[in-house]
Structure 1
Amino acid sequence: MPTLEQYIDTRLAHGRTYFSREEALDALDSSEIALTAAITRLIKKRRLAKPRHGFYLILRPEDQIAGAPDPARWIAPLAKYLGLNYRISLLRAAAFHGSSHQAAMVFQVIIPRQVRNFEIGRHRLEFVYQSPTAFQQVNRKDWLDTLKSDAGYAQVAGIELTLLDCARYFHRAAGINGVAQITKDLGVQADPHRLAQIAAYYENSCVRRLGYLLERAGHGCQAEALLPFAAKAKSAILLDPSAKPLVESLADEYENDPRWKLSINEPVEVDF
């Protein structure tokens, strides 16, 4: 029977840069104790990395400096191992679609289950929870795009879904100004009809927030597609509910945008 090192070399030769504990046990006919010892030894030698218990990454020489390959290369098999559907979104999706201002220092994945964030090497993975019902409604193939790497393909939110995710989880997307920048960069590429279709599954408040930012960025067609959602709103909300005034009485001085039924409690600034 092959050794663990021979097994991972064979995996690499076939373009597989990962394996599960169960797969290794089947292939090596090894005992649990012997396999654990061999895996531990190769992790110390920086030939393997462990993003999750029972799931291992095979490190090529060029991956060893960063401590792990780009998560885009292994998020799909990890999600399959965990029994989860997923989509890459927020800052990483914005960068993928061309929002050049987004450095995407964190790899953000939206999933329908609570999973702890973790760091591996220089990479930080953040799992953002969306309720299973809402996730199933919007995580459709025709609303997703494909991120290709040398190890295969990964699901990434399409332009419209990325914009709505950023408006919904704006505190994870560099705040309201970060979302404003993404909206400016990507809004012109959004299909207005598809944007309105997907918006029907999001909270009215985040749709209004996105509509306001699209309008400010000069993306009139896309903004107009979201205006019917603002018309349904009964009262104004804060543009940025996380921003609190230093003096409570100043809250009455906020500029109101009657078109989007928003209280503009935070100045919006973007780079041109």
Structure 2
Amino acid sequence: MKLSEWIRHREITGKPCFSFSDVTAAFADMSEQPLLNSLSRYVRSKRLALVARGFYCIIPPQYALQGLVPPSYYVDQLMSYIGKLYYVGLLSAAAFWGAAHQRPQQFSIMTTYPRYSRSSDRNNMLIWFYRTEIPEKFLLTKNTETSCVKYSNAELTAIDLVQFEQHIGGLSRAATVLSELLENTNFRGAHDTLFNFTTVATVQRLGYIVDEILEERGQADIIYNELKLYSNHFRYCWLSTKHDKKKSAISEKWKLYINTEIEPDEI
């Protein structure tokens, strides 16, 4: 069997992703360099996409013109190949919830340390974020063209948007997305589970945005009550860690020094 035939067989049998190790196992009688050369030719001709070092995805006809495959097409297989837990998070997860406001240019992957260093230089569609533990209880599954992806539920997405706000465009951008995402959130019981995967300061900032910026008082009261159950003696902190820490207004309820203005876009 030729390499082209092997690739075609994988395509028609619904296995569009493969590693270089898969290729060498299938063609054990061949040396590696000719196989690498052939794979490189297929990448240049846009028959394959090199989505990470040593990991390929067959480009289906509907994406042949662009020569790019959307990350949802291969991310679950890629993370299985890497051997790490993950979820699609931040603006990419918000898009699944219909709350991204604008389609994000990159696909946000949340995974665990150590950092993954084998992402292909050619693949700038993936942006990696890291945490010490993946909160599997708060993940959902979405079917894709090839398999499925794991993504954060609405409450975890809301938490992440605030915790990682510097990576999505700031607190105003987070507030804009939250204004739509809150239609799907329910923070009851979060003190016993969800809050273990974030910081108290993040919950304070989230509560302030929901309460004072978005004026969703019902949801804000739930977050506040859950926060009191989780940490009855939370301390004052700054609303923004990237702005100057100077004298400012104070939110006594959320124990925040208000050192920046949050201005969400109108939806």
Structures share fold, TM-score greater than 0.5:
yes
Where does residue 248 of structure 1 map in the other structure? Answer: none
CA, structure 1 residues 70+158, in 2 after alignment: closer, same or farther (shift >3 Å)? same
Once residues 148 and 154 of structure 1 are traced to their aligned partners in structure 2, the CA distance between those partners, rounded to angstroms, is 7
8 A contact 1:67–1:120 mirrored in 2:
no
Q: Which of residues 185, 198, 202 in structure 1 aligns to 2:198?
A: 202
CA, structure 1 residues 187+108, in 2 after alignment: closer, same or farther (shift >3 Å)? same
Deviations 1:226-261 (A, max 9, x none): 21426634532111111227xxxxx22x11110001
* Letter aligned with residue 130 of structure 2: Y
SS at structure 2 position matched to 1:57: strand
- Is 1:150 the counterpart of 2:145? The answer is yes
CA, structure 1 residues 198+269, in 2 after alignment: closer, same or farther (shift >3 Å)? same
Once residues 56 and 194 of structure 2 are traced to their aligned partners in structure 1, the CA distance between those partners, rounded to angstroms, is 36
Cα deviation, residue 139, structure 1: 2.5
Bigger drift between 38-47 and 104-113 goes to 38-47
Once residues 121 and 36 of structure 2 are traced to their aligned partners in structure 1, the CA distance between those partners, rounded to angstroms, is 22
- Count, aligned residues: 258
CA, structure 1 residues 173+80, in 2 after alignment: closer, same or farther (shift >3 Å)? same
8 A contact 1:87–1:111 mirrored in 2:
yes
Q: Identical aligned pairs, as a percentage? A: 23
8 A contact 2:239–2:257 mirrored in 1:
yes
Deviations 1:159-195 (A, max 9, x none): 0110111111111122101111122111131112254
CA, structure 1 residues 66+171, in 2 after alignment: closer, same or farther (shift >3 Å)? farther
CA, structure 1 residues 52+263, in 2 after alignment: closer, same or farther (shift >3 Å)? same
CA, structure 1 residues 234+100, in 2 after alignment: closer, same or farther (shift >3 Å)? closer
Where does residue 218 of structure 1 map in the other structure? Answer: 215
SS at structure 1 position matched to 2:125: strand
Q: TM-score, normalised by structure 1?
A: 0.87
* Letter aligned with residue 219 of structure 2: Q
Once residues 195 and 235 of structure 1 are traced to their aligned partners in structure 2, the CA distance between those partners, rounded to angstroms, is 19
Alignment of 1:1-272 (within 5 A): 2-29=1-28, 30-113=30-113, 114-116=115-117, 120=122, 123-131=124-132, 135-136=133-134, 138-140=135-137, 143-196=138-191, 197-216=193-212, 217-228=214-225, 229=227, 232-244=232-244, 251-252=246-247, 254-270=248-264, 271-272=266-267
SS at structure 2 position matched to 1:192: coil
Cα deviation, residue 10, structure 1: 0.8
* Letter aligned with residue 223 of structure 2: L
SS at structure 2 position matched to 1:244: coil
8 A contact 2:49–2:69 mirrored in 1:
no
Cα deviation, residue 119, structure 1: 5.6
Cα deviation, residue 64, structure 1: 3.1
* Letter aligned with residue 204 of structure 1: V
Once residues 260 and 85 of structure 1 are traced to their aligned partners in structure 2, the CA distance between those partners, rounded to angstroms, is 33
SS at structure 1 position matched to 2:142: strand
Once residues 28 and 144 of structure 1 are traced to their aligned partners in structure 2, the CA distance between those partners, rounded to angstroms, is 38
Once residues 121 and 263 of structure 2 are traced to their aligned partners in structure 1, the CA distance between those partners, rounded to angstroms, is 31
Once residues 240 and 183 of structure 2 are traced to their aligned partners in structure 1, the CA distance between those partners, rounded to angstroms, is 23
* Letter aligned with residue 127 of structure 1: W
Runs of 4+ more than 6 Å apart: none
Once residues 66 and 84 of structure 1 are traced to their aligned partners in structure 2, the CA distance between those partners, rounded to angstroms, is 29
SS at structure 2 position matched to 1:183: helix
Q: Specify every segment of 5 or more residues in structure 1 that has no aligned partner in the other structure, as ranges.
A: 246-250
Cα deviation, residue 222, structure 1: 2.5
Once residues 81 and 28 of structure 1 are traced to their aligned partners in structure 2, the CA distance between those partners, rounded to angstroms, is 19
Once residues 153 and 98 of structure 2 are traced to their aligned partners in structure 1, the CA distance between those partners, rounded to angstroms, is 12
Cα deviation, residue 224, structure 1: 1.8
Coordinate RMSD, CA, aligned: 2.0
8 A contact 2:188–2:223 mirrored in 1:
no
* Letter aligned with residue 60 of structure 1: P
Bigger drift between 112-121 and 175-184 goes to 112-121
Cα deviation, residue 19, structure 1: 0.8
Which structure: greater helix fraction?
A: 1
